[in-house]
Amino acid sequence: MLTMLNQVKKIFICGIKGVAMANLALILNQMGKEIIGWDVEEDFITKPIIDQLKEKQLLLIEGEKNIHRLTNLLKNIDLYVYSAAHQSMNNFLFKKISPSVRRLHQAEIIGEIMKPFPIPIAVAGSHGKTTISSLLSYSLIQLNQKPSYLVGTSSFNNYFGGDYHSPSKTKFFIAEADEYGLNPPINKTPKFFFLSPKYIIASNIDFDHPDVYQNLEEVKTAFKKFFDKKFIFANGDSKNLLTTFKEINRKQYLLYGFNNENDYRITNYFIAENWVSFDLYYHQKQIGTFKVKIFGLMNIINSAAVIALLLQLGFSVDEIRKAIENFTGAKRRFEIVYQKNNLKIFDDYAHHPTEIEKTIEAAHLRFPKRRIIVIFQPHTYSRTQTLLKEFNHSLSKANLTFILPIFPSARENKNQFKTSSQSIINADNKKNLIFVKNKKELFDILSKNLTKNDIIFTIGAGDVYKLKDDLIDLVNQYA
């Protein structure tokens, strides 16, 4: 397979504007491949990456209006790369390729790129993968290791979410290990089965993809298989994660977290408005005090995971302390997008009830005397329908939450579901949850409820982040 990838010169990427695909395209381009990409016409959060690729001669086709041109281009490619997006193997382009052209899923490509590196590292878990993998990549950059990495964000600290250096120039390749399926419902094989890391950081296990797994036990079974014969740094505070280690040799993993039973134990944390500090112990020995600029208890745990792995790799406490201290987070992860006087607007990708609750909890801890207002856009009918009560519970943790209509997945038929955003509120009527049917209604109500000390969050995996400019115009009237 790797020999084949080395011989490939021209690659077609379907859905190139997606976060993982854009970063993968960047890496393949850095490997010397010619990239042709297709996607819909709208701008995505990855636009800066796509623009850079265009400067490097990316040929980008948008929409379905240039089918004849696309057909001709597809005759000369060596490899077609696809994902579960855009109907996967049912995409109109997929069917136009010559049978002689190799077709590979995004996950297969990432696995093959990763293999030659001396220290491939995967970050797994239902939540927190992007923050951990971004912080680890950033830290290794600061430690002058020039890591190769592909993480699930468009950027972090002004670095794109993908970068490549050959295995002869760096030991490290970092990738997120996604438990989602290759092409649900046709092929539910977990994507992380194609990765063969030396080390795994595992943040937690949750029931997040009802279109792939029937229940939580199926999710755990997939993680157990992925963990087999690898060394794991695991969040010991995650009960679901701990149950997967019952049959794993204790020498095969280290635990981190707040609980006393963890190998790496967090104590004495302090959360200020612009930084967080905490002490870290290895068993009874104090390692040191660390300071970071990402917020919430979960991000303290995520930071401890990265510190533990860096210590395992042989870096000193002082080196690690300096490497992590200026990490400000990944794009769309508790990202501050605007502030004027006391009023601030944040954006976050949280789309599962656990993630939402942790984000709101972090906001309250960081701004204990301020009102937290959330604008939430549910993503996928299947997830919303399965977790109605959980969404209701987590969203009610904010002082005031506006719930937009569901942002559907192209992989599901919304007519098969009777669920709506109003169903979240109906699950347990809470006075601080308000359904709004469109942007106009949202801003009409918000304008009557805003005060100059409010903290506003847009939250969700859809396009809710695009409300930013209108929100800025609104808050400027109150700031």
pLDDT digits (tens, 9 = 90+) for 360-415: 999 999 999 999 999 999 999 999 999 999 999 999 999 999 999 999 887 777 77
* The pLDDT value given to residue 465: 93
Tokens 């971004």 correspond to what residue?
134
Which tens digits make up the pLDDT trace of 263-292? 999 999 999 889 999 999 999 999 999 999
Token readout for 367 is 């701004």
Which tens digits make up the pLDDT trace of 420-455? 999 999 988 788 999 999 999 999 999 998 888 899
Q: Measured between alpha carbons, how far apart are the two ends of the chain, in Å?
A: 57
Write down the pTM of the prediction.
Answer: 0.89
Across the beta sheet with 79-82, the strand order is 59-62, 34-39, 10-14, 79-82, 102-105
Cα distances from 314 to residues 103, 138, 143, 319, 369, in angstroms, run: 40, 17, 12, 10, 42
How far apart (Å, rounded) are the C-alpha atoms in residues 65 and 218?
Answer: 42
Q: Does the structure show a pLDDT above 80 at 165?
A: yes
Nearest to 205 by CA among 231, 233, 174, 239: 239
Report CA torsion sign: 387, 392, 393, 399: positive
Token readout for 146 is 């020039």
Tokens 């190799």 correspond to what residue?
102
For 457, other C-beta atoms within 10 Å of its C-beta total 26
Cβ atoms 80, 100 nearer than 8 A: no
* The pLDDT value given to residue 470: 92
Listed in sequence order, the residues at least 6 apart from 25 whose beta carbon sits closer than 8 Å to its beta carbon are 13, 16, 35, 37, 49, 53, 58
Helices (H), 352-438: 353-366, 381-386, 388-395, 421-426
Report CA torsion sign: 446, 466, 367, 273: negative
pLDDT band for position 76 (cuts 50, 70, 90): confident
Which tens digits make up the pLDDT trace of 15-45? 899 999 999 999 999 999 999 988 888 888 8
Nearest to 212 by CA among 238, 241, 179: 179
* The pLDDT value given to residue 343: 86
Nearest to 233 by CA among 262, 211, 258: 262
* The pLDDT value given to residue 417: 85
Q: Does the structure show a pLDDT above 60 at 1?
A: no
How far apart (Å, rounded) are the C-alpha atoms in residues 331 and 328?
Answer: 9
Burial class (CB in 10 A: 0-12, 13-18, 19+), 241: buried
Name which of 133-137, 164-168, 271-275, 309-313 the model is least confident about. Answer: 271-275
Tally of residues, the chain: 479
How far apart (Å, rounded) are the C-alpha atoms in residues 403 and 396?
Answer: 11
Q: Does the structure show a pLDDT above 80 at 68?
A: no
* The pLDDT value given to residue 453: 87
Helix, strand, coil shares of the chain, percent, nearest 5, are: 35, 25, 40
Token readout for 409 is 């997945």
Exposure pattern of 261-280 as b/e (b: 16+ CB <10 Å)? ebbbbbeeeebeeeebebeb
Exposure pattern of 376-409 as b/e (b: 16+ CB <10 Å)? bbbbbbbbbbbbbebbbbbbbbbbbbbbbebbbb
pLDDT band for position 94 (cuts 50, 70, 90): low
Which tens digits make up the pLDDT trace of 322-365? 999 999 999 888 899 998 888 899 999 999 999 999 999 999 99
* The pLDDT value given to residue 479: 63
Nearest to 69 by CA among 57, 59, 78: 59
Cβ atoms 371, 453 nearer than 8 A: yes
Could you write out the DSSP letters of every residue in 91-113? Answer: STTGGGS-TTSEEEEHHHHHHHH
Which tens digits make up the pLDDT trace of 172-220? 999 999 999 998 888 999 999 999 999 999 999 999 898 899 999 999 9
Instruction: Report which of residues 3 and 390 the model is more confident about.
Output: 390
Report CA torsion sign: 314, 323, 274, 471: negative
